[in-house]
Amino acid sequence: MIDYQAVINRIISEANSFLGKGKIADYIPALAEVSSDRLGIAVNLVDGRTFKTGDADIPFSIQSISKVFTLSMVVGAIGEDLWNSVGREPSGNPFNSLVQLEHEKGIPRNPFINAGAIVVTDRLISLYPRPKEAILDFVRSIAGNADIYYDTRVAISERENADRNMALAYFMKSFGNIHNDVEMLIDVYCHQCALSMSCSDLSRAFLLYANRGVNPQNNVRILTESQTKRLGAVMSTCGFYDESGDFAYRVGLPGKSGVGGGIAAYMPGKLAISVWSPELNNFGNSLAGIEILERFTTDIQRSIF
Ligand code: GLN
């Protein structure tokens, strides 16, 4: 039987060897204020056991991890139709790249690069009259925490520096692939990225995927088995931008990163794990977070492969 607490304690005790090598995201000024030595790990098993260490209960800006939640909401509501407007192939390009969009006529490569997530949020706005409240309700229900909120300072800071995301949205609108007002769309998008959650919150939320689409908080099915499989497939091929192949190679779990330094990942039928370390590598993924997850799956000798 695996002693998960001992595994994560050992990994965090070795953390000095992989801290201080990355760079905190500063293109959103409010994100740059986080202290670089934050480090947390939380593991939740589908059988209800939980393990955590370090800063696992300190909320941080989940940024692009939110793309999994909005995608789940939209796929749960409109199903396969979404894939007419967003692809599901790895992009091989940075998360905020514009280059593929012109060749591919405004259809983003996948829902986890910014362009794809912006289309998903656009569809979510068409589905829900109060989209920001709907996102909060969804995340609170799967994380089992009614105190989850948007960090409005981060949302405003991102909104004030959103020229590139605005450009992506207007460009896609010119191809007919954005249906709502772009200013309003980017406001909702900046808020979803500014969701403030801890590693413990994220691991509880990601149990939804480990639990094959049934919310473990109340046993209500939110996604079909097939939808859950497909979300997992997209997480494992596209969840880490142009580092997705390397993440699969080193870690071997479906998951999603954010430029706040968080990563949430899961093993179907078994567990969810979240890590937070704000320093990023050149791909915009948590440098220590990937190291920790690689050590974790190496130590427990399990992955999806
Ligand atoms: N809010 C960020 C952005 O749109 C999200 C990017 C990320 O976490 N990779 O630029």
Cβ–ligand 1 contact at 285 (below 6 Å):
no
Rounded mean pLDDT, 149-176? 97
Cβ–ligand 1 contact at 193 (below 6 Å):
yes
pLDDT value at 15 more than 90:
no
Q: Give the model's pLDDT for residue 17.
A: 87
pLDDT value at 110 more than 90:
yes
Q: Give the model's pLDDT for residue 93.
A: 84
Confidence of residue 80 (pLDDT cuts 50, 70, 90): confident
Computed over every residue of the chain, the mean pLDDT equals 96
pLDDT value at 97 more than 90:
no
Cβ–ligand 1 contact at 64 (below 6 Å):
yes
Confidence of residue 265 (pLDDT cuts 50, 70, 90): very high
Q: Give the model's pLDDT for residue 100.
A: 87
Q: Give the model's pLDDT for residue 21.
A: 92
Model pTM?
0.97
Q: Whose CA is nearest to atom 6 of ligand 1?
A: 64
Pick the range with the lowest mean pLDDT from 97-101, 117-121, 142-146, 258-262. Answer: 97-101
pLDDT value at 92 more than 90:
no
Is the CA virtual torsion 203, 139, 79, 248 positive or negative?
Answer: negative
Tell how far the Cα of 47 is from the centroid of ligand 1, in angstroms. Answer: 33
Tell how far the Cα of 120 is from the centroid of ligand 1, in angstroms. Answer: 14
Atom of ligand 1 nearest to the CA of 260: 8
Counting residues of the chain whose pLDDT is more than 70, the rounded percentage is 100
Q: Give the model's pLDDT for residue 18.
A: 87
**Which of 63, 112, 120, 263 most suits a substitution to test ligand 1, by most atoms within 8 Å of the C-beta?**
63
Q: Whose CA is nearest to atom 4 of ligand 1?
A: 114
Rounded mean pLDDT, 268-291? 97
Cβ–ligand 1 contact at 63 (below 6 Å):
yes
Q: Give the model's pLDDT for residue 70.
A: 98
Cβ–ligand 1 contact at 116 (below 6 Å):
no
C-alpha 165/C-alpha 14 separation (Å) is 38
Tell how far the Cα of 164 is from the centroid of ligand 1, in angstroms. Answer: 11
Cβ–ligand 1 contact at 258 (below 6 Å):
yes
Rounded mean pLDDT, 261-285? 97
Pick the range with the lowest mean pLDDT from 16-20, 31-35, 183-187, 234-238. Answer: 16-20
Cβ–ligand 1 contact at 158 (below 6 Å):
yes
Pick the range with the lowest mean pLDDT from 25-39, 45-59, 122-136, 171-185. Answer: 25-39
Q: Give the model's pLDDT for residue 299.
A: 97
